[in-house]
Structure formats: structure tokens, C-alpha cells
Amino acid sequence: MPSTHFAELLGLGFPELLIILAIVLLLFGGKKLPQLARGLGSSLKELRGSLDDANGVKKVAKPSAAGAREGDATSEPQ
């Protein structure tokens, strides 16, 4: 099954996406845009996690950066 992108699915090209971005920027302003993007990203992350849970996909835990530093042999004891 070929992989399709969301923009291709809607028939949107690069110029159309730029126009949509410009309209969103005009409507919400530059100060509000990062907050909107952050909210959209967290919503998509939650949706993806819910879909993975519904499909029975197991999540693999990645070691955190703090845990890697604690177990590092070159770090000095505190």
C-alpha cells in the first residue's frame, strides 16, 4: 500500500499550504502561533497514542537523558 501524505490526500501543494499559513498568521498573530502549534502537537501526540493503544501496539520505553547521565561511568559522584 503506497504511503500518502495528508497534503497530497487533500490535493494541496506547497503554494496552497503557504497561503493557509499566511491566513492563520494574520488571524491569530505571531504571539499566539507558537501556543497554537504546541496545542496541536500535543493533541496529535495524544491521538497517536490512543490509536496505538486501540491497535494493540506496545510502546518501547526510551532511556531518559537523566538516567543515562546517572549511569555514566565518567560522571563524578555527588
For 61-78, write each residue's pLDDT tens digit.
Answer: 666 665 555 555 555 555
**Separation CA 49–CA 46 (nearest Å):** 5
Instruction: Decide which of 67 and 20 is more confident.
Output: 20
pLDDT of residue 51: 85
